[in-house]
Structure 1
């Protein structure tokens, strides 16, 4: 998988924010798929060697059986500093390296991070989806922005996540008695479809299998530092 749109990555934070503002107008939050959703790709990122090496993992699953079909891993030197709201600039270059190794093109990308539930409506899932012009969804463990009501303690229950009057995502309870997760459209996927596809990938764990399996690959060496200590941007 190669991007259809490119831009510089090693830029100053102010320019990175300007790039986000330019790209956000390209985001589509309605369903536009090329056909049936037969394959799902989980995308996750970890870091090694004190954050100096970015480690990106992609795992492609059959959307019905959730059996893994392909697993790829890429490492590259980390170029961009940790800046809240700009994590895609730190992480996507390695993700693109991993995606370029895939033999198949997944029908839907489920990214560990935000879609449009982001201050500039361009979290990693939206950013990646726009660059590739592929359907994508953000699946985050924590909230970056927005407010919401309490989520009923029922599998599959969700409430809207709002930033002011704008609905930017869903707060989804994947299992009874566990913390909800934060789902948002990335690109070419409506919110209701995003929630549906995430739930299709949930088994007996809080996180969908896409996230679980990509996370396992991204953090495989014991010394790999997970980015989960920070809010996802």
Structure 2
């Protein structure tokens, strides 16, 4: 997967904020993609006390949610942990992992925010704009905004409102669990993002894409050359319950 990076990563926090405000004008919030055969999950973990960033991408076939490809990349952690600027800390390693894929995903679900962000430019937006692919933010926790209480049934949702603007939804993917927070990243509408997240979610709270990527990014340290079994369902591979 060949990538084209639009900017340098050696930035101060102030310069990073200014870049977010500039690049957010490139975010497209309408459906601009064709058939989706392969959907990917992206997640990032850290090793060596946070000094090494470990990014993982898991590519699944949309039809049956079986793992088809994966890539892991490591690089030194160079940007500090600053809420709202996590993409500058994590995306460089994500780009390295994407470049090592053999199967190019048609849609990417990111563990983090899309436009549900103080400057409407979370990690899903940043990644989507850089690689010009449709992306969705699937966050486990709320960053900004408020929403009404959700019904308990699977698939129920409530708009996520911030400063009078709908920036995403709180989505119940499993009865009796906390919602996840869905927002468009790039080249996808909110309604379509909800539909694809539900399509990728089975009996757990998190989409299968996220579960595979999280296992690769945050599980026990493994060799980057380790071969992960493909063609296995989520039930056949050991993954986190949520």
Q: Is the 8 A contact 2:20 2:121 kept in 1?
A: yes
Structure-2 residue corresponding to 1:20: 20
For residue 26 of structure 2, give the secondary structure of its aligned residue in structure 1.
Answer: coil
The match for 2:43 is 44
Aligned residues: 222
Does residue 84 (structure 1) correspond to residue 83 (structure 2)? The answer is yes
Q: Which runs of 5+ in 1 are unaligned?
A: 224-233
Q: What corresponds to 2:6 in structure 1?
A: 6
1:3, distance to aligned residue in structure 2 (A): 3.2
Distance (whole Å) between structure 2 residues aligned to residue 4 and residue 94 of structure 1: 14
Alpha-carbon distance in 1 for matches of 2:26, 2:50: 31
Contact kept? 1:125, 1:137, Cα under 8 Å: yes
Report 1:156-171 matches (<5 A). Answer: 156-171=155-170
How far apart are residue 165 of structure 1 and its match? Answer: 1.4
> Aligned-pair distance for 1:157?
0.5
Deviations 1:171-194 (A, max 9, x none): 000011110000000000100100
Report the Cα distance in structure 2 between the residues aligned to 1:156 and 1:67, rounded to whole angstroms.
22
- In structure 2, what is the Cα distance between the partners aligned to 1:57 and 1:25? 28
CA RMSD for the aligned pairs?
1.1
CA contact (8 A) 2:3 2:99 kept: no
* Residue 212, structure 1, aligned to residue 211, structure 2: yes
CA deviation vs aligned residue, 1:189-233 (integer Å, no higher than 9, x gap): 10010010000011110000000010000012269xxxxxxxxxx
Q: TM-score, normalised by structure 1?
A: 0.93
- Runs of at least 4 residues of structure 1 off by over 2 A? 1-5
Structure 1 position 135 matched with structure 2 position 168: no
Could you tell me how far apart the structure 1 residues matched to 2:178 and 2:82 are?
26
Equivalent residue number for residue 226 of structure 1: none
Is there any run of 5+ residues in structure 2 with no aligned partner, and where? 223-242
Of stretches 167-176 and 213-222 in structure 1, the one that deviates more from structure 2 is: 213-222
Aligned partners of 1:48, 1:107: CA distance in 2, in Å? 29
1:169-208 maps to which residues of 2 (within 5 A)?
169-208=168-207
Q: Is the 8 A contact 2:112 2:124 kept in 1?
A: yes
